[in-house]
Structure 1
Amino acid sequence: MEDEWCCADWMSQMPSRIWDIPLWNLALPGSHDSMTYCLDQESAVVNSSPRVLRMLDTLFPCLVRPCIMKWATTQEGTITEQLDLGIRFLDLRIAHKIKDSDQVFFFAHAIYSLLTVKEALKEVVCWLDRHSKEVVILALSAFDDMNLDQHRELIHFLLSTFTYRICPRNVTSSLQECWKHKYQVILSYDDESACAYNELWPPCPYWWANTSDPKQVISFLEERKNEGRPGQFFAAGLNLTEDGRYILCHPCQSLQSMTWSASALLLNWVKLQRPGSEKTSLNIICADFVGGLSSEFTQLVIDLNLRQYPDP
């Protein structure tokens, strides 16, 4: 895997010895909080944010929102650019604006996105049309200010948008099986309203260290590995997390600069990982600013499959 063009179609270029392995036993590159490249600095803070942040945003929006943009933006590349880089797991946080009477859904991470869910997922469909043998996991992992009727509305949109491309949850989703049935999308939906739909997979566990220290991230992930992997899809997050004290003590930093300063250590850890069904194996590996790392991150994760499943 030497360039971005290869990464855009990396699944179709996998050797035949990998075709029958379930996708949850492969290494898949993912992006954390995938839609934060289009946050709207003019929007209000989401309702689920801490009360003190909402209060400060009401009083001093000109100060608060630029700071939020610095620390809530986890990706720079668009959804198409991420997929072209080889990302096959998209972490999607959905929100409905509390004062909006329309059934319009946005993405959110402290503040709302500019793009709607409809606009972004139509972009995914266009990409899938151009890459017919690639399979993407869409993990709808958080919901803000949504009631049952709105969940049903969103689920109906997902099913009508991806139609025949959706891989049902009772399928052992290997590349071969997906290609056979033209499946290209695995929908994971983290809400009990999804239980009635065979097209929707259960929540994808996400291992999150909740620390700004990359060494502690690695230590946390190693502890989780030793506890044993889940049976199907799960994600290990390389993402660093700041708190209020860290932000106040590092006024000239941003999440991006913090991530880049830790990237060498975290990528070296990725090189040592193994996919598969064993207790300490990994599956999805997620990172912030995947485009900022060029294709190095995705290439490292993809190549874990070739190393784990070599020529006989």
Structure 2
Amino acid sequence: MMDLAYQDWMSALPEELWDIPLTDLAIPGSHDAMSYCLDINSPLLRSESDYFRLLDGLFYCITRPLILKWATTQNKTIEEQLSMGIRYFDLRVAHKPNDPSSDLYFTHVIYTHLTVLETLVSVLNWLNSHPKEIVILVCSHLEGMDDKCHESFIFCLKRLFGSKLCPRKEPNLSLRSLWASGHQVILSYDSQITARHPELWPAIPYWWANKSTAQDVISYLDWHKDLGRPEGFFIAGLNLTADRSYIAKNPKESLQMMTYKNWECLRKWVEQQIPGSDPKSFNIIAGDFVGSLPLCSVVIPLNHRLLQRSSGQMKKLFKFIKPDSN
């Protein structure tokens, strides 16, 4: 049964947090959010190596099940992820080679069944039913797209989301301000073309460890934390990565098994984190299989630590204010 306890978690936050920028809140995210609908019969991505392309051509019946086992990072639909509380979505967009249509698809090694626009219509419909929830959509990779394709896609995005798009120079990113303006979508577009469109945000930094164990991922994230958080939005990725030698040595395993096996260690680490503007604070925390694993119920409650910190600062302030003896 789907957990809907956090489907409206932003509007349910204490009012004391409504004026804090989204960049200082703890926000749960979905890494490679659309990989639940990969099409096993689609072509390989253009960026895959010639060697892998050759293997795929010769041993298709072996490579394709392996691709699904290791490229699938989510098992819930985007509507389900939204309803469970996910508010950041990693969307990898591409145009298929030799496709005469203008349709765009999501990708991870191969392409998805669902097109980009039909999926984003579903996101829009969900937002219309949840007018106080804000989402951060990151369109990246953008393979096989020329300038004409980019401009056509951006035109569709603007027409689809309209006034819900929050411009990148928005001076106040607090929930209260966004609710007042009707903005519900922060749309990052990982291309230099973004400069021409004030409705689009540039690429958002993603801390990706590229490691296969929870301990290595945590070491990488702690190292980044010691260097200090970037200004604005940024993502700490909990997602594990298996290289091809790991996959070859573990033929019975899958990314889902690897993720589940490491979850408890990652969960304990997340529970120790603090959102906010401090150099060592966190903002968006993204992971794999976010519907099956309780990422939202671990990340969202971290925001209450902002209340505790605020209360502690007030106590310190009052301690130094001496009562008037007259």
TM over 0.5: yes
Aligned to 1:48: 47
Q: 1:51 & 1:19 partners in 2: Cα distance?
A: 51
Aligned to 2:320: none
Aligned to 1:305: 303
Alignment check: 8 A CA contact 2:274 2:282 kept: yes
Alignment check: 8 A CA contact 2:275 2:305 kept: no
Alignment check: 8 A CA contact 1:187 1:201 kept: yes
Aligned to 2:324: none
Q: 2:67 & 2:289 partners in 1: Cα distance?
A: 16
C-alpha displacement at 1:199, in angstroms? Answer: 0.5
C-alpha displacement at 1:240, in angstroms? Answer: 0.2
Cα-Cα RMSD: 1.0
Q: 1:163 & 1:184 partners in 2: Cα distance?
A: 10
Aligned to 2:23: 24
Task: Read off the aligned partner of 1:290 and give its amino acid letter.
Answer: V
Q: 1:69 & 1:124 partners in 2: Cα distance?
A: 25
Aligned to 2:70: 71
Show structure 1 runs of 4+ deviating over 3 A. Answer: none
C-alpha displacement at 1:275, in angstroms? Answer: 0.6
Aligned to 1:206: 206
Aligned to 2:173: 173
For 1:48, what is the secondary structure of its paired residue? Answer: coil
Aligned to 1:10: 9
Q: 1:66 & 1:135 partners in 2: Cα distance?
A: 36
Please show how residues 72-91 of structure 1 align to structure 2 within 5 Å: 72-91=71-90
Q: 2:210 & 2:201 partners in 1: Cα distance?
A: 25
Task: Read off the aligned partner of 1:234 and give its amino acid letter.
Answer: F
Aligned to 1:185: 185
Task: Read off the aligned partner of 1:266 and give its amino acid letter.
Answer: L
C-alpha displacement at 1:139, in angstroms? Answer: 0.6
Q: 2:145 & 2:238 partners in 1: Cα distance?
A: 29
C-alpha displacement at 1:102, in angstroms? Answer: 1.3
Task: Read off the aligned partner of 1:79 and give its amino acid letter.
Answer: I
* Structure (1 or 2) with the larger CA radius of gyration: 2
C-alpha displacement at 1:4, in angstroms? Answer: 2.9
Aligned to 2:266: 266
Q: 1:146 & 1:308 partners in 2: Cα distance?
A: 42
Q: 1:28 & 1:47 partners in 2: Cα distance?
A: 32
Q: 1:196 & 1:12 partners in 2: Cα distance?
A: 33
C-alpha displacement at 1:98, in angstroms? Answer: 1.2
Task: Read off the aligned partner of 2:304 and give its amino acid letter.
Answer: L
Q: Which string of whole-angstrom CA distances, capped at 9 and with x for unpartnered residues, describes residues 74-114 of structure 1? A: 00000000001100000000010010121110000000000
Aligned to 1:143: 142
Task: Read off the aligned partner of 2:307 and give its amino acid letter.
Answer: Y
Q: Which string of whole-angstrom CA distances, capped at 9 and with x for unpartnered residues, describes residues 134-183 of structure 1? A: 00000112111111111111111111110011111111211011100111
C-alpha displacement at 1:39, in angstroms? Answer: 0.2
Task: Read off the aligned partner of 1:308 and give its amino acid letter.
Answer: L
Alignment check: 8 A CA contact 1:44 1:57 kept: no
Identity %: 48
Asked whether 1:60 is paired with 2:86, we answer: no
Structure 2: gaps of 5 or more residues: 312-326
Aligned to 1:230: 230
Task: Read off the aligned partner of 1:299 and give its amino acid letter.
Answer: S
Q: Which string of whole-angstrom CA distances, capped at 9 and with x for unpartnered residues, describes residues 195-239 of structure 1? A: 111100110100000010210100000000111111100000000
Q: 1:49 & 1:223 partners in 2: Cα distance?
A: 30
Structure 1: gaps of 5 or more residues: none
Aligned to 2:218: 218
Task: Read off the aligned partner of 1:218 and give its amino acid letter.
Answer: I
C-alpha displacement at 1:308, in angstroms? Answer: 2.4
Task: Read off the aligned partner of 2:124 and give its amino acid letter.
Answer: V
How many pairs align? 308
Q: Which string of whole-angstrom CA distances, capped at 9 and with x for unpartnered residues, describes residues 232-252 of structure 1? A: 000000000000110010000
Aligned to 1:239: 239
Aligned to 1:160: 159
For 1:247, what is the secondary structure of its paired residue? Answer: helix
For 1:306, what is the secondary structure of its paired residue? Answer: helix
Q: 1:250 & 1:88 partners in 2: Cα distance?
A: 33
Q: 1:120 & 1:224 partners in 2: Cα distance?
A: 33
C-alpha displacement at 1:6, in angstroms? Answer: 2.8
C-alpha displacement at 1:309, in angstroms? Answer: 2.2
